[in-house]
Structure 1
């Protein structure tokens, strides 16, 4: 692709990204550019991928933005409920993998794509992992955000209907926004640049699955947990990562996959609803075992829709801090294990061929 064509693609992608952001569409900076890429590839009739450096940098930026959301405090809080929490996360994960297996079997997509379609976590991160592992990133993005949409629509509505708000126990929502960096912006960005470069290099050197993302994520955790000054990951850097990943994925779109994906989407919608009710049952079990209120238990173990779950628990008066700790602990475990599990499934598929 010529430099002029690349610039043109980015102009359209940025314009649609702003539009989706203005319309409050979930992760609009990923979906908007991805749609631009899909439409462009569809009009031409064949994929037209960007240079790989854009995808590599995009995944590194997502790794940083993901790492900054974790802190030792949330893990310490979750440790108070370690055994029942880990048990419920494991059962939830097994159910998710089983639904992914069913999706792959009944829709005809490959098992890695089916697996990643149902892994509950940060959807943008899962898309980045899937792309690097050789799965169908367009399908994963579509399935992940369909799952996210259904979760956001169904779970808060169902929880609000079943468990009306208790005004006397409403918690104060924890801040989900980043505070101001205590060092100059230029120095802050320089440190993030070093962290990204080091993460990409280490990921490639040690052959980490999803090296661009996972290597930077691990380096980012070490940096944010040990650096004496607060390092900020600007919102625009996260949006840039989404832009790079979304446009790169969209431009790889092959129109011949549409028919297969249409059938898979219908199957996935039913499986997602089934998974939601399975997770509600698991949340009820956690409520019984750990003696945590049922609102907190259900929303803490819901597979996705992190911000929506926090907003719902605030409204209904559950334990906001515990829901935050449960969701972040689950995300951390998924982000660390998903690449290795995906690599294992990929190897098994290669042996079966």
Structure 2
């Protein structure tokens, strides 16, 4: 009973948050309501709260399956025209992040290797693990910077997109194919060991995405994801993100706290400007362009794209390319002696 109570508390707080956000007509209430409800409760009241990683993974499987249903070989082929742009985009963002890291090193007196690892907009868990493996990187600072960035990106981007008035309404249609959807999710779970064996980044998300692509190659008809299942996914992931910012993480030096918040806001502004340019270059809607460039995780941006009815496949491809660029190019560079 004691083990279940902290989880039940999170569920109750998340649902209350969802209800409040729905009453206030805020965008994405199932994700943002649960996120901020859990976050504020954790920071204000000292009550036991726990959210197993398994619950987040269930949400990722649902979102990955929903996006996998949209993937086709034609979509991948059509993205060849943007490959050069994606490469230049990631090089430019990396240069900006290195410059930001240098400023953080001087102003907040953070070791350069720590500042760079904290500034690069990659996956939260992957970069924290990388930091733990390096002797010269402060893991606490890296964790704080990435958690703050996730909270800002996930919390603010849906609001920014809704304020532009260019995004489709955040309405997900219900379907009568719940059993069909659950079957696909379970199939993705069955293929999960293969995704882990291939060392896919965020395997709970990418495995069902790739499975959906394979099924489309065999001309298998896939029913749209039911809205109730997507709401469950948003709540599962929102509650998980809300618990990331522990009160203990706010005990860092004030300059580090200010640096983390400032860098998150600066990256949001930079990617906002880039997204506006992409709207003109590629004739895409602003929601898709901003989610494609935003410094968030591939899974989180995919979830928001699905909820806002943006082009989730394009968002996933852009975010996947950036993640691969960081792992193949940036992280090996950080191991050079110059950054020691």
**TM-score w.r.t. structure 2 length?**
0.67
The answer on 1:272 being equivalent to 2:259 is no
Could you tell me how far 1:103 is from its partner in structure 2? 4.6
Q: 1:139 aligns with which of 139, 148, 153?
A: 148
Question: For the Cα contact (< 8 Å) 2:61–2:208, is it kept in 1?
Answer: yes
Q: 1:96 aligns with which of 80, 93, 109?
A: 93
The answer on 1:303 being equivalent to 2:296 is no
The answer on 1:209 being equivalent to 2:209 is no
Please give the secondary structure, in 1, of the residue aligned with 2:201.
coil
Q: Give the whole-Å Cα distance in 1 for the aligned partners of 2:169 and 2:40.
A: 39
Q: 2:238 aligns with which of 230, 241, 246?
A: 246
Could you tell me how far 1:256 is from its partner in structure 2? 4.0
Q: 2:120 aligns with which of 93, 112, 115?
A: 115
Please give the secondary structure, in 1, of the residue aligned with 2:244.
coil
Where in structure 2 are the equivalents of 1:46-195 lying within 5 Å? 49-72=50-73, 74=75, 78=78, 82-83=80-81, 85-107=82-104, 111-116=116-121, 129-131=123-125, 134=128, 136=143, 138-145=147-154, 148=157, 152=161, 156=164, 180=175, 185-195=178-188
Question: For the Cα contact (< 8 Å) 1:46–1:254, is it kept in 2?
Answer: no
Question: For the Cα contact (< 8 Å) 1:203–1:215, is it kept in 2?
Answer: yes
Output the aligned Cα RMSD.
4.1
Rate the CA distance shift 1:276–1:250 in 2: closer, same or farther, 3 A.
closer
Aligned residues: 293
Q: Give the whole-Å Cα distance in 2 for the aligned partners of 1:328 and 1:247.
A: 22
5+ long unaligned stretches in structure 2: 105-109, 129-141, 294-308
Could you tell me how far 1:28 is from its partner in structure 2? 2.9
Query: In the alignment, what sits opposite 2:42?
Result: 41
Q: 1:334 aligns with which of 318, 332, 335?
A: 318
The answer on 1:229 being equivalent to 2:221 is yes
Q: Deviations over 1:146-176 (max 9, x none)?
A: 662685378x48x9xxxxxxxxxxxxx8999
Question: For the Cα contact (< 8 Å) 1:46–1:255, is it kept in 2?
Answer: no
Question: For the Cα contact (< 8 Å) 1:139–1:261, is it kept in 2?
Answer: no
Could you tell me how far 1:13 is from its partner in structure 2? 0.8
Rate the CA distance shift 1:261–1:67 in 2: closer, same or farther, 3 A.
farther
Question: For the Cα contact (< 8 Å) 1:88–1:282, is it kept in 2?
Answer: no
Could you tell me how far 1:269 is from its partner in structure 2? 3.0
Q: Deviations over 1:263-287 (max 9, x none)?
A: 4333443443344334545665x47
Q: Give the whole-Å Cα distance in 1 for the aligned partners of 2:173 and 2:214.
A: 18
Q: Deviations over 1:20-67 (max 9, x none)?
A: 244343333222222233234334669954223212212222212232
Query: In the alignment, what sits opposite 2:306?
Result: none
